Amino acid sequence: MLKTPYLKTERERPPRPNSPPRTPKNPYPQYAGHSGDSLAKSLTEELKKWDGSADVMLIIDDLDCYDAEKRKELFASVAKKIPPQYIVPTVIIGLAAPEVEAWLIADWDDTIGNRFSICGLEARRLLEQRGVQVEQPEDFPCRDENGQSAKISVLLQDSINTKCNIRYSKGKDTPDLLLQINPNNVAAKCPHFREFWRELKRRLEPATT
């Protein structure tokens, strides 16, 4: 299986007492921030080293308001580029619409609300004032009223920074908080995630009789 960002691949020192949990280091920093065609190109390079040791390939990417079916076709075609001596694995594609931060927002109480408490509630109100529907975060448009590009991750970061007086990091805090989500809560509010979650469970859960 392809190794994904933030997968712990090395032994880490024990955390200090009362210190916050560490986010595992990204073993592929050269691919950080890649999405769409750029991510597909990166995956193609990684697949040159495919050793056939897994039968499932999991690919997760921000959709960024692009066409979902075309993005799925893109990644499905990438999976076929593994060395010819190996069987093409089952491919499961998870599209975060418009970005993976929508999953955090959908399960606010278990992620941001739990981490930031009272100031997190104030950040949520500010986020809603800026056009983010916490109950339907996938509906966030990628263009503002002036036609300029808008990113839900930037609004989330700025809202937390403003109300909690800290520096929220997409590269560090987002992966850490993703470990706290309840997939069922996210699936209830995010149709794209719900499709991905159902497919993931169908493929990976043992067959029942």
pLDDT in tens, 72-84: 999 999 888 888 8
| Residues 13-25: b if buried by 16+ CB within 10 A, e if exposed | eeeeeeeeeebbe
DSSP reduced 3-state for 166: coil
Residue 143 has what pLDDT?
Answer: 75
| Beta pairing, strands 90-96 & 56-62 | parallel
Residue 112 has what pLDDT?
Answer: 94
Q: Tokens 């495919």 identify what position?
A: 50
DSSP reduced 3-state for 165: coil
- For 105-113, what is the mean pLDDT? 95
pTM: 0.79
Mean pLDDT over all residues of the chain? 83
41: tokens are 């190109």
Query: How far from each other are the two terminal CA atoms of the chain, in whole angstroms?
Result: 28
Residue 200 has what pLDDT?
Answer: 92
Higher pLDDT, 136 or 25: 136
For residue 49, which phi and psi values (nearest 5 degrees)? -100, 10
- Residue 100: CB atoms within 10 Å: 23
- Cα separations (Å) of 101 from 13, 17, 122, 138? 29, 29, 17, 10
Counting residues of the chain whose pLDDT is more than 70, the rounded percentage is: 82
pLDDT in tens, 153-169: 999 999 999 999 888 99
- For 52-75, what is the mean pLDDT? 90
Of 80-89, 104-113, 122-131, least confident by mean pLDDT is 80-89
Q: How far is 179 from 60, CA to CA, in rounded Å?
A: 15
Q: How far is 141 from 160, CA to CA, in rounded Å?
A: 20
pLDDT at 190 over 80: yes
164: tokens are 């909690």
